[in-house]
Amino acid sequence: MYPLPVVIVGVQDDQLPAVRRELAHLGADIESEFPSAAAAAECLRSTRRQQRLLVVQVGPDCDASAIERLGEEFGGWPILGLVPDGSTVRDVLEVNRAGACQVVGLPPGLADFHRAMGMIATQFGGKLIDRHVFAVAGAVGGSGTSTIAINLAHEIAVKFRRGTILAELSLQAGALAAHLDIEPRVTLADLFREINRVDDLLVEKSLVPYADGLKILAGAQEYATSVRADPAHLVRIVSCFRKIADVTVLDVPNMAHGLGRTAVDGADRVVLVGVQNVPSIRSMKMFCEHLPAERLNHSVWIVINRYNPQLKGFSAAEIRDILGAPHVVTVSNDYPAVNTALNHGKPLRLVTPGTPILKDLDTLIEGLLGLQKQAVHAPHRMFGRMRRALGV
């Protein structure tokens, strides 16, 4: 939730839906809306002790001088000024001098609006929203980890309107650039080579803008590199991601050691991707067993990819039981959709938006972002072959 209640002032009808939408995506409580600064001042004067964020459009019913009057009337309240598209630097400075602590152009762009709101939240009300880092790792090779990571990141950015970075943690022969048909100028390996220069600005310039709210850092494009894989260097780079984006999705090629182990250990949430077979579930069980109960119960999501609900002995309920992991999500088996997306070099939503995979991923995202309460699962029956194969 956004830390301050929001009051909308003077936002015109043609811009109001977009402003409401972006505020809703940030979890902001729109307390009231007023057609003019005068109306807002009159109604809010008696409650000025409760700090609010004023989102004010500069236009016919509220010019820069009206913002100045609001600032004088409600001292200590932050003001976000919205200026028309095409406004000059002089116009923006005038609004800022009148008392707006942040200024955003209309229509509101995702990244710019979220950054302005985040800065206001930091300065006036604490943290905007949690900055999430999700590590997506495969239990075994061929689990479809990169497909899950790509579409997870794209959905978070495009549908859930969170500024998102998708980063591939590969220092050799990365596949992300090919999956998305991009030609990155800078890769993870390049950042490792220049680690002494790495800061927020350098990392942000290294990212490839892909979709509204989504930026990409691909893994190394060569088969062999001489880059030293120091885990501390990855921690430094990921800390920059956390400052730049609301959500960072790390595509982890190997979770057992090296950079993958560092990423999994340091992530806020781990998305462990597996399939319905004994080797995959055995690997997931080994991973779950080494985790503290609190980490497993609150920070690990098991994803059963290419799920077949008719496969006896390998249902989601049975896998949940054997792993002792409360968060198990299934992703539909839609090979034609995935293959089409791969051949086009695009995420699923841009090529096959009707695939049930997207609905499954949205359910996963809601859990990861804490947008819904997790269901309490009833006990499930135990089973034979898989328990015997796993030695439990």
Per-residue pLDDT of the chain (392 residues; tens, 9 = 90+): 688 999 999 999 999 999 998 898 888 889 999 999 888 988 887 787 788 999 999 876 667 888 998 988 888 899 999 998 888 999 899 999 999 999 999 988 877 898 899 889 888 875 445 679 999 999 999 999 999 999 999 999 999 989 999 999 988 878 899 999 999 999 999 999 999 999 999 999 999 999 889 999 998 877 766 777 788 999 999 999 988 898 999 999 888 778 889 999 999 999 999 999 999 999 999 999 999 998 999 999 999 999 999 999 899 999 999 999 999 999 999 999 999 999 999 999 999 999 999 999 999 999 999 886 433 343 344 345 555 555 55
Residue 263 lies in a domain: yes
Supply the pLDDT for residue 387. Answer: 53
Q: Is the pTM of this model over 0.85?
A: no
Shared domain check, 58 and 177:
no
Q: Give the DSSP letter of residue 195.
A: G
Shared domain check, 235 and 183:
yes
- If one counts the domains in the chain, the total is 2
Query: Last residue of a domain, which of 60, 94, 125?
Result: 125
Neighbours of 66 (CB within 10 A): 21
CATH number, residue 63: 3.40.50.2300
Q: Are 217 and 165 spatial neighbours (Cβ–Cβ below 8 Å)?
A: yes
CATH number, residue 283: 3.40.50.300
Shared domain check, 365 and 238:
yes
Half-sphere exposure for 297 (CA within 13 Å, toward CB):
5
Closest residue by Cα to residue 150 from 114, 181, 183, 189: 181
What amino acid occupies position 33? E
Shared domain check, 274 and 154:
yes
Q: DSSP per residue over 82-94, as a string? A: EE-TT--HHHHHH
Query: Last residue of a domain, which of 103, 125, 147?
Result: 125
Residue 1 lies in a domain: no
Residue 292 lies in a domain: yes
Range of the domain at 222: 132-390
